[in-house]
Amino acid sequence: MSDCLFCRIVRGEIPSAKVAESASCLAFRDIAPKAPTHVLVIPKAHFDSVLAVEDGPVVGDMVMLAQEVARAEGIAEGGFRLVINTGADGGQTVGHLHLHVLGGRGLKWPPG
């Protein structure tokens, strides 16, 4: 996926504010944060969405890196939210699987 925005971030062709990294995943700050902490955790390999994932490890790896981010950002104790928007109705705007890590304020439920 040579022209995928997040693949280009993984390759370092587009700058990002990196927060953490594992062998399979990268975490960087969302360019338009919706909360005091808003980090995106993505697999380095391309998946169009969560529907393209055919086995569990990649999602587990994303959650493990999200845990690390939440602790490092100081939001683990107070609470935070993990979100994977999927498809048009789900609000997905970038076609590369990503997990939003949101925290640092009280988050409302249900989402809009």
> Which residues contribute to the site for ligand AMP (CB under 6 A)?
5, 14, 16, 30-32, 40, 85, 91-94
CB of 30 to ligand AMP, least distance (A): 5
Sheet architecture: strand order including 80-83:
18-21, 25-29, 37-43, 99-103, 80-83
CB of 93 to ligand AMP, least distance (A): 4
Q: β-strand 80-83 against 99-103: which pairing, if any?
A: antiparallel
What tokens does 52 get? Answer: 């393209």
Closer residue to ligand AMP in complex, CB, 16/37 = 16
CB of 94 to ligand AMP, least distance (A): 4
**Residue located via tokens 């498809």:** 87
Q: Is 96 a catalytic residue?
A: no
Exactly one of 38, 46, 98, 100 is catalytic; which is it?
98
- Residue 66 and residue 51: Cα distance in Å, rounded? 20
Residues identified as active-site: 98
